[in-house]
A and B are shown apart, each in its own frame.
Chain A
Amino acid sequence: MVDWTDAERSAILGLWGKISVDEIGPQALARVLIVYPWTQRYFSSFGDVSTPAAIMGNPKVAAHGKVVCGALDKAVKNMGNILAIYKSLSETHANKLFVDPDNFRVLADVLTIVIAAKFGAAFTPEIQATWQKFMKVVVAAMGSRYF
């Protein structure tokens, strides 16, 4: 479905290898809930999400951030096959969780910013381009089973 050059594959693997899902996941999900507060609608069972401080200290938000970002590991390890890999996750989000697929794009943008903060100048324009291409494919795959 998607062509990856060797340089692109190694950029994604290199980046992902230095990322700790336990660190980045909670930060990314917390930022989504703070920057786009309407996304809190999906997390009414998470307890106190009333302020940025509450969100950043909320253990359920942190745990779920790890789950969401952990799922990216599958895509990194199967870059040639992302559409197939995410078929059932897409169906779950569409038919059981009723998540608006625009949220996948939102999370991808926030994740890019969190990763940029972590890597600084090492997150070069070229690496950013490759990472955003990867995110675009993941977002498309996650939206693929919404009809």
Chain B
Amino acid sequence: MSLTAKDKKMVKAFWAKVAGKAEDIGCDALSRMLVVYPQTKTYFSHWKDLSPGSAPVRKHGGTIMGGISLAVASIDDLSAGLLALSELHAFKLRVDPANFKILSHNILVVLAILFPNEFNPEAHVAMDKFLAAVGRALSEKYR
């Protein structure tokens, strides 16, 4: 299920429309992940406040969206572009790769909430494929 030329075009066009709200998207997606999938809190036990929209959640949401932006820019070679991030998640953070799907789902929910008209079925399939490809690239260095 690799990204076609059409997918890449759609992802870049859609990302251009939504990138202005990247921090809000990241904050909301992370907030939702922590509430809807409480087992994910295990990775953030060092934060004082895990509630939706809290300062550490907003800051980290922004960081995650920075990674997504990098992925969009690296869309022609995600493995190369996300190599350092893959190593970070594999060896330092040791995030179970199952969580990439969970966060991706919440990003899609937030895109639907913030951009109900632009996030049409064609944008949905392209973004779902893209986030799955990002998850795979992030998983590459795990073993």
Q: B100: which A residues are within 8 A, CB to CB?
A: none
Distance between B133 CB and nearest chain A CB, rounded to angstroms: 15
> A-B pairs with the 8 shortest C-beta distances?
A125-B35, A117-B112, A117-B116, A34-B121, A116-B112, A129-B36, A35-B125, A125-B32
- Interface 1/0s, chain B 102-143, versus A by CB < 8 A? 000100111011001001011011001000000000000000
Q: If A35-B128, A125-B32, A128-B35 touch, does A113 touch B112 (CB 8 Å cutoff)?
A: yes
Distance between A46 CB and nearest chain B CB, rounded to angstroms: 16
Chain B contact patch, size range:
10 to 19
17 contacts between A and B (CB under 8 A): A30-B121, A31-B121, A34-B121, A34-B124, A35-B128, A55-B121, A56-B121, A112-B105, A112-B109, A114-B112, A118-B116, A119-B113, A123-B113, A125-B35, A125-B52, A128-B32, A128-B36
Q: A118: which B residues are within 8 A, CB to CB?
A: 116
Interface residues of A (CB under 8 A from B): 30-31, 34-35, 52, 55-56, 109, 112-114, 116-121, 123-126, 128-129, 132
Query: Complex formed: what's the CA distance from A86 to B105 in Å?
Result: 26
Q: A132: which B residues are within 8 A, CB to CB?
A: 36
Chain B: interface secondary structure? helix
Q: B35: which A residues are within 8 A, CB to CB?
A: 125-126, 128-129
B113 touches A121 (CB 8 A): yes
Chain A: interface secondary structure? helix
Query: Complex formed: what's the CA distance from A128 to B119 in Å?
Result: 18
- Can you name the residue of chain A whose Cβ is closest to the Cβ of B122? A52
B124 touches A35 (CB 8 A): yes
User: Is B86 located at the chain interface by the 8 A CB criterion?
Assistant: no
Q: A30: which B residues are within 8 A, CB to CB?
A: 121
Q: If A113-B112, A121-B113, A128-B35 touch, does A34 touch B119 (CB 8 Å cutoff)?
A: no
Query: Complex formed: what's the CA distance from A112 to B105 in Å?
Result: 10
Query: Complex formed: what's the CA distance from A34 to B112 in Å?
Result: 16
Distance between A121 CB and nearest chain B CB, rounded to angstroms: 6
User: Is B79 located at the chain interface by the 8 A CB criterion?
Assistant: no
- Can you name the residue of chain B whose Cβ is closest to the Cβ of A35? B125
Q: B31: which A residues are within 8 A, CB to CB?
A: 125
Query: Complex formed: what's the CA distance from A34 to B117 in Å?
Result: 16
A120 touches B121 (CB 8 A): no
- Can you name the residue of chain A whose Cβ is closest to the Cβ of B121? A34
Distance between A129 CB and nearest chain B CB, rounded to angstroms: 4
Query: Complex formed: what's the CA distance from A54 to B37 in Å?
Result: 36
